[in-house]
Amino acid sequence: MRPRQKQLIYAGLTAILILIWIFYSADDLQTTAVLAGTVRAATLLALGAMCGMIGERSGVVNIGIEGQFLLSAFAAFTIASMTGSLFMGTLAGVGMGLIMGWLLAAMAVGLKVDQIIAGTVLNISALGLTSFFYDRSRSLGIGKYTNIDLGPLAELPLVGTVLFSRPPLTYLTMVLLVVVHIALFRSVWGMRTRAIGEHPGAADTVGIDVLKLRYFNVTIAGGLAGFGGSYLALEAVGTFSRAMSGGRGFLALAVMIFGRRTPFGAYAAALFFGFTTALQNQFQLNNTFDIPPQFVGMLPFVVTIVVVALSGLFGSMRDPAALGQSYEKG
Amino acid sequence: MTETLLGARKVRKEFPGVLANDDISISLQPGRILALLGENGAGKSTLVNILFGMYRPDEGHVIIKDEIVDLRGPDEAISRGIGMVHQHFQLVPPMRVVENIVLGAEPTRRGLVDLDEARTRVIALSERYGLEVDPDALVEDLPVGMQQRVEILKALYRDADVLILDEPTGVLTPQEADHLLGVLRELTETGLGIVFITHKLREVLAIADDIVVLRNGQVVGETRPSDTDESDLAEMMVGRNVMLQVEKSVSRPGDPVLEVKELEVKDDRGQIALDSLSFEVRAGEILGVAGVEGNGQRELVEAITGLRAPSVGVMKIEGEELTGESPRQITKKGVAHIPEDREKHGVVAIYSLAENTILNRYHRKPFSIRGILRRDVIRSHAQDVVDEFDVRTPSISVPASSLSGGNKQKLIVGREFSDDIKLLIAAQPTRGIDIGAIEFIHRRILEQRDKGAAVLLVSAELDEILGLSDRIAVLYDGKIMDVVDAQEANREQIGLLMAGITD
């Protein structure tokens, strides 16, 4: 990262902190609610973005995150409700994500189906399957994941509620961000992953099995999206409803691109988009504007369009060179 | 003592419709340089891919250190000490030099890549072999010569005892190429063996200890530099007597046809590729543009043919300003274009030969009338082109993709030359085609010159530039370093200019 970029980031952070402080002095309850909502919305986006970036760093586009979220949320909810165990439900969600990741890999990597079409297959089948098997009478029975206070930290004003009194999957997501960052940029796996996304031929000539690694990565990434599905059903909402992923799998892709396919960048972007979601919720709750709620609800998506359209202004962002291309030996 | 460091014994490899390698045996001894010489399609690449484990031979064996081995993949070849420097560098551009060198064989500490250790090893290696590199530079920021050095270090890092270099000098200036040959010679002093693949006769004579000549998938000659010379080797390569130098008369240049003034052109990334370029080409002369690829040649050709709009400057043909006009407007003025990439811009692979011969005239009478193509006219035109330009094909109805590179190129030349042309833009007109076709195309280009066309010849092959041009402009970093008279030009002088050195 160039020094100028670093300066910009520090300047931006300072500005944000000052703004938060001003708002908090004006209305502490609302500010806390919006920021807590920001973190809640950001968690799902961050998980989806990590799923997307592991795929794209290896050269495989995954536009099926939406479907992976949805079907995994369904699996998590159903198993949790059947077994009465949130943990089992979470595992089921991750498992379903892995299966869908594997399916995407089988199509896009193994059979060399066009990657966009393969992702669309996931989205459509997830919507169809969950709508068909959706059982309106089923409920979670047990409550959703509840907040865990991190000792005295949770007592702090503002940050206590926003960061240190969260449910478990949110904490785990933060850990995952660090893990994925280290894995991508420090581990052997990460170096090879970045290589096969940029120049699979080069990786092949030094004995890296490109197809195998892509298979593995897309599958594992599916697990992350599956974890996101579990989060959605068992922690954020506490039930399953039709099409409950609501476009956030696609939003996650925007978050990934805006965050330059890095976990921390994506989390920053996720917080930004999460903020628009939380703000929109708060507006609707308080009836701040006298306009139909549907229009207020558009806020995060309008912001997405504007930000993605303008993202070119924030310096050049280059896609991995081999993105979207299936690899043929020789 | 090892006899054969790397070898092939009676190797045979067949692809659908092609016998790429037929009963080939070679043997490389430690400390020696074996040159594999042959035209495109002679089977060099197939043989090398077999030696490197990319393909498996249908019959025969690969021998490494006197042992028959069955390579299941490049990783096995690497682990047995075979290193390969590919013609198209196999480097990951946005990654660092050190990362590229250790990729696939990374040193680790506590589960993570140990870049400090990697850097130490790379520096030690580059000092030991005198191959200086900056381990932390990004590969995409390095000049090609340096990237090649990274490729060589990559092989040495893996303890290679054999280096296979595929057309390594194609992207280098003559001086860089000489330097590379020196480096390779030094490497052999440590006992390393080198397989050197090329179609450049001079290099073979300069560097090789042993020479193996391939033609049509077979070994047609084995010799040593002291027992042979260039014309001998060329004859072996082609299978008949060839003229290495086309004869040409003195040019009698007329009025300027192409005038370029202070042309500025940007490349795909928006960087300035041509910087305030000015030159002219007169009727009846060939202006050769020499230079290492990537110094603005492509942008120059695209700007003149209308494929890329210049940002600043003026381009005139016969006094008429045509800057930024469409390719069709420019073609109409009598401009013919032999494009650099014949697969992409020269032919439409799925179209028949007949259709390909009218790509630049289908909209005109008599080839179409009121939007309807006239098959009979087109077919007879196509047949004329095929006959006159010696395109070897079973029929004019087969798709262009069925032709060999040389025949495709002859088809393109035939299409472009079948009108009276004022200006010919020939970009890499003989790249990757056999010597016979090269000779043919060279003669045709000279013929156009003698008929009074102005010719702009852009080529990365210095021999081609020196052989055909009347004047030579050297392009470096988007600027013309100098324009010299071809009769007074010599390789060394041009080579220095190609490297951007003026004095």
Beta pairing class for B286-290 and B272-282 = unpaired
Q: Which domains does chain A carry?
A: 33-314 (1.10.3470)
Residue B434: the pLDDT is 77
The pair of three-digit structure tokens given for residue B486, joined into one six-digit string = 């071809």
Residue B378 Cα distances to B337, B347, B364, B382, angstroms: 20, 16, 11, 6
**pLDDT tens sequence across B64-103:** 999 999 998 888 999 999 999 988 889 999 999 999 999 9
Residue B425 Cα distances to B95, B103, B149, B220, B482, angstroms: 37, 42, 34, 37, 20
Q: ipTM greater than 0.90, yes or no? A: no
- Disruptive mutation site among B89, B103, B163 for chain A (greatest number of A CBs within 10 Å): B103
Average pLDDT over residues B373-397: 92
Phi-psi region of B262 (alpha: psi -120 to 50; beta: other; left: phi over 0): left
Q: Determine whether A15 is exposed, middle or buried from the number of CB atoms within 10 Å of its CB (0-12, 13-18, 19+).
A: exposed
* C-beta neighbour count of B327 within 10 angstroms: 14
Q: What is the dihedral of CA B463, B467, B472, B476, to 10 degrees?
A: -10
Q: Do B113 and A186 touch (CB under 8 A)?
A: yes
Q: Do A194 and B103 touch (CB under 8 A)?
A: no
Q: Do A207 and B74 touch (CB under 8 A)?
A: yes
Residue A120: the pLDDT is 96
Q: Do A199 and B99 touch (CB under 8 A)?
A: no
Question: Which residues of B are less than 8 Å from A195 in CB distance?
Answer: 92, 95, 103
B92/chain A closest Cα distance in angstroms: 6
Q: Do A187 and B104 touch (CB under 8 A)?
A: no
Nearest to B74 among A186, A199, A204 (CB): A204
Q: Do A208 and B90 touch (CB under 8 A)?
A: no
For chain B, which residues make up each domain, given as ranges? 6-238, 246-334+422-503, 347-419
Residue A1: the pLDDT is 54
In chain B, the percentage of residues whose pLDDT exceeds 90 is 63
The pair of three-digit structure tokens given for residue B20, joined into one six-digit string = 């790429």
Nearest to A205 among B86, B94, B108 (CB): B86
Orientation angle between helical segments B435-450 and B405-417, nearest 10 degrees: 10
Q: Do B54 and A329 touch (CB under 8 A)?
A: yes
Q: Do B95 and A318 touch (CB under 8 A)?
A: no
Residue B401: the pLDDT is 87
The pair of three-digit structure tokens given for residue A195, joined into one six-digit string = 């290589």
Which residues are bridge partners to B165 per DSSP?
B85, B196
**pLDDT tens sequence across B434-488:** 777 888 899 999 999 999 999 999 998 888 999 999 999 999 999 999 999 998 8
Asked whether B25 and B36 are in contact (CB, 8 A), the reply is no
Question: Which residues of B are less than 8 Å from A201 in CB distance?
Answer: 88, 90
d(CA B225, CA A301): 71
Task: Give, for B257, the enclosing helix (H) or strand (E).
Answer: strand B256-266
Average pLDDT over residues B230-254: 81
d(CA B40, CA B435): 9
Give the residue with greater pLDDT, A312 vs B495.
B495
Q: Do B111 and A203 touch (CB under 8 A)?
A: no
Residue A39: the pLDDT is 94
- Disruptive mutation site among A206, A211, A328 for chain B (greatest number of B CBs within 10 Å): A206
Question: Which residues of B are less than 8 Å from A202 in CB distance?
Answer: 89-92, 100, 103
B6-238: CATH class = alpha beta
Q: Do B54 and A330 touch (CB under 8 A)?
A: yes
- In this chain, the answer to whether the domains covering B6-238 and B246-334+422-503 adopt an identical fold is yes
- Chain B residues at the A interface, defined by Cβ less than 8 Å, are 49, 54-55, 73-75, 78-79, 84, 86, 88-95, 99-100, 103-106, 108, 111-113, 154
A188/chain B closest Cα distance in angstroms: 5
- The CATH architecture one would assign to domain B246-334+422-503 is 3-Layer(aba) Sandwich (3.40)
Report the alpha-carbon angle A209-A210-A215, nearest 5: 100
Which residues are bridge partners to B335 per DSSP?
B423
Q: Do B75 and A203 touch (CB under 8 A)?
A: no
The 3-state secondary structure of chain A reads CCHHHHHHHHHHHHHHHHHHHHHHHHCHHHHHHHHHHHHHHHHHHHHHHHHHHHHHHCCCCCCCHHHHHHHHHHHHHHHHHHHCCHHHHHHHHHHHHHHHHHHHHHHHHHCCCCHHHHHHHHHHHHHHHHHHHCCCCCCCCCCCCCCEECHHHHHCCCHHHHHCEECHHHHHHHHHHHHHHHHHHHEHHHHHHHHHHHCHHHHHHCCCCHHHHHHHHHHHHHHHHHHHHHHHHHHHHCCCCCCCCCCHHHHHHHHHHHCCCCHHHHHHHHHHHHHHHHHHHHHHHHCCCCCCHHHHHCHHHHHHHHHHHHHHHHCCCCCCCCCCCCCCCC
Q: Which of A152-166, A308-322, B3-17, B49-63 has the lowest mean pLDDT?
A: A308-322
φ, ψ dihedrals at B147, nearest 5°:
-60, -40
Question: What is this structure's pTM?
Answer: 0.80
Residue A293: the pLDDT is 80
Mean pLDDT by 10 residues, chain A (330 residues): 76 88 86 91 96 96 97 96 95 98 96 95 95 86 88 86 91 97 96 96 90 97 98 94 92 90 94 89 80 82 81 68 81
